[in-house]
Structure 1
Amino acid sequence: MANLPDKNSSYKDVTYWDERYSREQQYDWLGDFSKFQHLLEKVIKKEDSVLILGCGNSSMSGDMYRAGYRSITNIDYSPVCISTMSARYSHCAEMTWHQMDVRQLSFDDASFDVILEKATLDAIMVEEKTPWEVSPETICFIHQALTEISRCLKPGGRFVSITFAQPFFRKRLYARSGYGWSIQQHSYGEGLEYFLFVMTKGEALSPEDAELERKLLEEPEPRPANTGATQNEENEDFLSNIDL
Structure 2
Amino acid sequence: MEHLPSCNSRYKEVEYWDQRYRSETSFEWFGDFSKFQHLIRPHVNKDDSILVLGCGNSALSFDMYSAGFTSITNMDYSSVCIEIMSQRHADCHGMTWHCMDARHLAFPDASFDVVLEKGTLDAMLVEEKDPWHISMEATNFLQQVLSEISRVLRPGGRFISLTFAQPHFRKRLYARTEYGWSVRHHTYGDGFHYFLYVLTKGEELSAEDAALERRLKVEAETSSTDVTFQEDDPEDFLTNIAL
What TM-score results when the alignment is normalised by the length of structure 1? 0.93
Secondary structure of 1:42 counterpart: helix
Give yes or no for contact 1:129–1:233 (8 Å, CA) kept in 2. no
Q: Does 1:239 align with 2:242?
A: no
Q: Distance in 2 between matches of 1:238 and 1:219?
A: 29
Q: Distance in 1 between matches of 2:12 and 2:199?
A: 25
Q: Which amino acid aligns with 1:31?
A: G
Q: Distance in 1 between matches of 2:139 and 2:240?
A: 21
CA RMSD of aligned residues (A): 1.9
Give yes or no for contact 1:115–1:159 (8 Å, CA) kept in 2. yes
Runs (5+) with no aligned partner, structure 2: 224-229
Give yes or no for contact 2:122–2:241 (8 Å, CA) kept in 1. no
Q: Does 1:183 align with 2:164?
A: no
Secondary structure of 2:157 counterpart: strand
Query: Which residue is equivalent to 1:116?
Result: 116
Q: Does 1:65 align with 2:99?
A: no
Deviation at 1:242, TM superposition (A): 6.8
Query: Which residue is equivalent to 1:24?
Result: 24
Give yes or no for contact 2:126–2:240 (8 Å, CA) kept in 1. no
Residues 181 and 159 of structure 1, relative CA distance in 2, 3 Å threshold = same
Query: Which residue is equivalent to 1:167?
Result: 167
Residues 240 and 59 of structure 1, relative CA distance in 2, 3 Å threshold = farther
Deviation at 1:221, TM superposition (A): 11
Runs (5+) with no aligned partner, structure 1: 224-229
Q: Does 1:75 align with 2:75?
A: yes
Q: Distance in 1 between matches of 2:192 and 2:108?
A: 38
Q: For each residue in 1:156-203, what CA deviation from the matched residue of structure 2 results, as whole angstroms up to 9, or x when unmatched?
A: 000001000111000000010010000110010011110000000000
Query: Which residue is equivalent to 1:226?
Result: none
Correspondence 1:1-244 to 2 at 5 A: 1-219=1-219, 234-240=233-239
Give yes or no for contact 1:29–1:242 (8 Å, CA) kept in 2. no
Q: For each residue in 1:15-63, what CA deviation from the matched residue of structure 2 results, as whole angstroms up to 9, or x when unmatched?
A: 0000000000000011001000000001000010000000000000000
Q: Distance in 2 between matches of 1:240 and 1:57?
A: 21
Give yes or no for contact 2:165–2:241 (8 Å, CA) kept in 1. no
What TM-score results when the alignment is normalised by the length of structure 2? 0.93
Q: Which amino acid aligns with 2:195?
A: F
